[in-house]
């Protein structure tokens, strides 16, 4: 039995105990305080890495077992054999990550991912997409026509992909597209056009940027710190999905300003592309911290 990553068990002044997990998910623990204290002692003694109740008497194990069962149901504890991500087939081996682009974001992302993924570099064609698990396309100015083609290849071969490009003085990263589960580049593109004051002007700009015969201005790449933020955000989203199979409830494109400020732009799938599994975009009800009874 282990304490789940990002969780804490701690006492409060009234003599009770609390558990807290990511995103301030608080739990009140109702039950014998000595059982919680024993659980914390066992976890601490093993470096929070796990423990076995062997050697304890029957009278001692019963309340502790009930507490463990309740916390396991709430995701605070987990069995070694059922570790998060252990049941996700794609988490067994490192992914083949194809990083495309010659800019600083691509170079840094490839270097950072080298110790975790099988990194491949080079331009994107259908063969590169077919032989990759995840594609990270890092561009300068937005290559709209090329990315629409890339999206077709990724959907055809079941390859997840994410992207980063420069616009004005900012970098735009993501969201990660997993076909049939998350927003696509077509969704992002459509939402952008729908929100634009002058969509025809935007289309004309993208068409001009797509033309290789034009003398486009150099990309004003931001400082290394801003580049590191963009590369880190791209990789973090890929790593989380690959290790756990989990994707955000709402897909988000991240804008990294020249001063490092990160702005979140939600990207909802276009209505014609929404399937039944993603049709409910309702919120999650919030309330007081639920109690865990042991």
Tokens of 152: 């077709």
pLDDT confidence band for 151 (50 / 70 / 90) = very high
Domain boundary among 39, 60, 84: 84
pLDDT surpasses 70 at 284 = no
Residue 109 and residue 75 share a domain: no
Quote the distance between the C-alpha of residue 116 and its chain's center.
15
Question: 62 or 285: which carries more pLDDT confidence?
Answer: 62
At what angle are helices 224-244 and 104-113 packed, to 10 degrees? 40
pLDDT at residue 282 is higher than 50: no
69 and 95 within one domain? no
pTM (2 d.p.):
0.66
What integer best gives the mean pLDDT of the chain?
A: 83
Same domain, 125 and 16: no
In a domain, 149, yes or no: yes
**Residue of higher predicted confidence among 56 and 211:** 211
Q: Could you read off the pLDDT of 214-234 as tens digits, one per residue?
A: 889 999 999 999 999 999 999
What contacts 200, CB < 8 A, 6 or more positions away? none
Confidence of residue 30 (pLDDT cuts 50, 70, 90): confident
Residues 40 and 166 in one domain: no
100 and 215 assigned to the same domain: yes
Residues 54 and 8 in one domain: yes
Q: 74 in a domain, yes or no?
A: yes
If asked whether residues 67 and 192 sit together in one domain, one would say no
In a domain, 106, yes or no: yes
Residue 99 has φ and ψ, to the nearest 5°, of -105, 120
- Contact between 229 and 259 under an 8 Å Cβ cutoff? The reply is no
Q: Residue 292: inside a domain, yes or no?
A: no
Burial of 46 (0-12, 13-18, 19+ CB in 10 A): middle
Is residue 289 a part of any domain in this protein?
A: no
Beta-bridge partners for 292: 29
HEC string for the chain: CEECCCCEEEECCCCCEEEEECCCEEEEEECCHHHHHHHHHHHHHCCCCCCCCCCCCHHHHHHHHHHHHHHHHCCCEECHHHCCCCCCHHHCCCCEEEEECCCHHHHHHHHHHCCCCEEEECCCCHHHHHCCCEEEEEEEECCHHHHHHHHHHHHHHCCEEEEEEEECCEEEECCCECCCCCCCHHHHHHHHHHHCCCHHHHHHHHHHHHCCCCCCCCCCCCCHHHHHHHHHHHHHHHHHHHHHCCCCCCCEEEEECCCCCEEEEECCCCHHHCCHHHCCCCCCCCCCCCEEEC
Which of 84, 108, 131 lies at the terminal end of a domain, its last residue?
A: 84
| pLDDT-derived band at 38, boundaries 50, 70, 90 | confident
pLDDT in tens, 120-143: 999 999 999 999 999 999 999 999
- Domain boundary residue among 44, 63, 84? 84
Q: How confident is the model at residue 82 (pLDDT cuts 50, 70, 90)?
A: very low
Task: Give me the CATH number covering residue 179.
Answer: 3.40.50.720
Domain count, the chain: 2
Please tell me whether residues 212 and 229 are part of one structural domain.
yes
In this structure, how many other beta carbons lie within 10 angstroms of the beta carbon of residue 155? 16
| Parent domain of 144 | 89-278
């Amino acid at each position: 039995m282990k304490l789940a990553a990002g969780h804490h068990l701690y006492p409060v002044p009234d003599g009770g105990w609390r558990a807290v997990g990511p995103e301030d998910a608080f739990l009140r623990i109702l039950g014998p305080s000595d059982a919680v204290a024993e659980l914390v002692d066992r976890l601490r003694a093993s470096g929070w890495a796990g423990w076995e109740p062997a050697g304890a008497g029957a009278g001692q194990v019963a309340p502790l077992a009930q507490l463990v069962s309740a916390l396991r149901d709430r995701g605070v504890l987990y069995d070694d054999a059922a570790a998060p991500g252990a049941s996700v087939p794609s988490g067994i081996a490192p992914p083949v990550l194809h990083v495309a682009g010659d800019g600083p974001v691509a170079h840094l992302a490839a270097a950072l991912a080298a110790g975790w993924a099988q990194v491949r570099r080079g331009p994107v064609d259908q063969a590169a997409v077919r032989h990759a698990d995840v594609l990270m396309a890092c561009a300068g100015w937005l290559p709209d026509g090329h990315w629409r083609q890339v999206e077709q290849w990724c959907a055809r071969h079941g390859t997840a992909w994410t992207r980063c490009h420069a616009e004005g003085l900012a970098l735009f990263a993501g969201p990660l597209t997993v076909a049939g589960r998350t927003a696509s580049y077509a969704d992002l593109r459509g939402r952008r056009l729908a929100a634009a004051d002058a969509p025809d002007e935007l289309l004309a700009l993208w068409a001009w940027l797509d033309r290789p015969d034009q003398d486009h201005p150099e990309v004003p790449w931001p400082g290394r710190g801003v580049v590191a933020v963009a590369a880190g955000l791209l990789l973090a989203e890929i790593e989380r999905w690959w290790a756990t199979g989990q994707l955000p409830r709402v897909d988000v494109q991240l804008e990294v300003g020249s001063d490092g400020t990160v702005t979140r732009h939600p990207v909802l799938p276009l209505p014609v592309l929404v399937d039944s599994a993603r049709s409910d975009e309702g919120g999650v009800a919030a309330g007081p911290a639920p109690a865990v009874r042991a």
